[in-house]
Amino acid sequence: MSKIKTDFGIDEALFALGIQNLNDGSSTGSNNFSSGETIESYSPVDGSLIAKVKTTSKNDYDKVIDVASEAFKTWRLKPAPQRGEIVRQFGNKLRELKEPLGKLVSYEMGKSYQEGLGEVQEMIDICDFAVGLSRQLHGLTMHSERPGHRMYEQYHSLGIIGIISAFNFPVAVWAWNTALAWICGDVCVWKPSEKTPLCGVACQNIAASVFKANNLPEGISSMINGNYKVGEMMTNDVRIPLVSATGSIRMGKIVAQAVAARLGKSLLELGGNNAIIVTPNADIKMTVIGAVFGAVGTAGQRCTSTRRLIIHESIYNKVKDALVAAYKQLRVGNPLDENNHVGPLIDTDAVANYNKALKKVVAEGGKILVPGGILDGKGYESGCYVKPAIAEADNNFEIVQHETFAPVLYLLKYSGEVENAIAIQNGVVQGLSSAIMTSNLREAEQFLSVVGSDCGIANVNIGTSGAEIGGAFGGEKETGGGRESGSDAWKIYMRRQTNTINYTTELPLAQGIKFDL
């Protein structure tokens, strides 16, 4: 490992997470047989090289799948409550390591330290949820039409779950999938983002320590490293019945086609183009807080980030002025300094996309209200820090129709009734998160009705970003249609089986069919 001394306790965090023994070019983590090319992980915070990790070759990958397949044979036979006990221990281990893991998330990804801690808390929360769920993997009983027969359905473990996660939530999304999959008796093979490989190594080390303490096979959780080519091994592998992928719409379409071609199952969490509708009945103070956090939190790199603010013409100028004033108070800088609101983008490619979006909105006829720009000088040496920007635009602009993973907020004006705003909100291909700010019950209920928001998440008087693990998370349309985390999202990680038992000495056929011999 290339040791980089900082003022942020990063070395101490790496040590606590079991990454201290990496050598340049080495690989680490449970069941990670990687022997391919090297990934260099640079922090967007200060541009420093944190460490290097080897990628996974085809031969390496096959070894990982073999180990995972063997582990599945053992793990699926454990009663679900016993699997829950292991997840409980994993959650407790996360509690012990919350600070160092949160710090690594912040340093390697660039989100604020508070958001890094919040992401680890999401992991802890999903473990708690999964532990309770381990005693509730219920099916249904049904009355048979045939006398002396009983019908019911049950759920069985599915097998190897392939997980492809994105850089913006480098640990939480993996845990959403993994905690539920483990409870269901599945084993997991994870490809973390090549932009945040050390977060993957850290999580893998934590999981491995729990399995070792319980004399369980490490293959219950395995990790592979690399770019999209490594992901392709997983999506094309018939040994993996379910691939859960988080990322762009473009990536999701590729994954969906590859998995469907082999009649596998996919769980897709893709792009968002999330809007908040602001009606004349909105609380302006609440609106500003929700919109600003939604737009600039994680430097606009959440799939639930607020991209569009749809404001009624009667209060448009009032909301606009309040937002511009609020943006003047934002502090952009080192995300490990809790006085800062906004950290860096993940890399300079993201910065380039941010600049293109601002140029594009002007070229299409928009107006910049809060200028953007790249920050330089002391503290901004990585070249990844940008100013959160606001632009007036039209929903039909091409750039507004696409998701820009950066802190760019578009203000859109509507007139008339709330259904006009809902039409604007729904007028994009994405369908992840949405919100309305109103104190009018009729407006709120219309927004939540069948003719209201077409998104998987619809909120009233809160913003678009942030989600509790108790509810199913996911979106519609080109967001992919997947559901993770709470509610009954666990069912996708299992195979459903309908059972009919005849406890008589006769064999009547369904639908009254006669077949006499």
For the purposes of burial, counting CB atoms within 10 Å of the CB of 497, is it exposed (0-12), middle (13-18) or buried (19 or more)?
exposed
Catalytic (active site) residue 417: no
Sign of CA dihedral 45, 307, 352, 37: positive
3-state SS assignment for residue 494: strand
> For residue 482, how many other CB atoms are within 10 A of its CB?
22
DSSP classification of residue 26: -
Cα–Cα separations (whole angstroms), residue 408 to 67, 390, 402, 419: 45, 6, 12, 25
Question: Which of 459, 453, 454 has the alpha carbon at shortest distance from 471?
Answer: 459
What DSSP line would sit under 342-402, residue for residue? B---SSHHHHHHHHHHHHHHHHTT-EEEE---B--STT-TTS--B--EEEE--TTSHHHHS
Pairing of strands 141-143, 149-157: antiparallel
**Using a CB cutoff of 8 Å and minimum separation of 24, what contacts does 60-66 make?**
60/33, 60/34, 60/35, 60/36, 60/224, 61/224, 61/230, 61/233, 63/33, 64/31, 64/32, 64/33, 64/189, 64/219, 64/222, 64/223, 64/224, 65/160, 65/189, 65/237, 65/239, 65/240
Q: Which of 127, 199, 303, 455 is catalytic?
A: 303
Residue 495 phi/psi, 5-degree rounding, is -105, 135
**Using a CB cutoff of 8 Å and minimum separation of 24, what contacts does 174-178 make?**
174/200, 174/203, 175/122, 175/123, 175/126, 175/127, 175/203, 176/122, 176/126, 176/469, 176/473, 176/484, 176/485, 177/244, 177/267, 177/484, 177/493, 178/207, 178/221
* Rounded distance between C-alpha atoms, residue 242 and residue 277, angstroms: 36
Pairing of strands 38-42, 49-54: antiparallel
* Rounded distance between C-alpha atoms, residue 156 and residue 375, angstroms: 53
Q: Which of 269, 443, 478, 484 is catalytic?
A: 269
Catalytic (active site) residue 303: yes
- What tokens appear for 305 in the block? 């980030």
Site of tokens 């099916």: 139
Question: Which of 498, 501, 456 has the alpha carbon at shortest distance from 477?
Answer: 456
Q: Which residues contact 430 (CB under 8 A, 6 or more apart)?
A: 249, 270, 271, 272, 273, 274, 403, 475, 477, 478, 479
Length of the chain: 517
Which residues are marked as active site?
269, 303
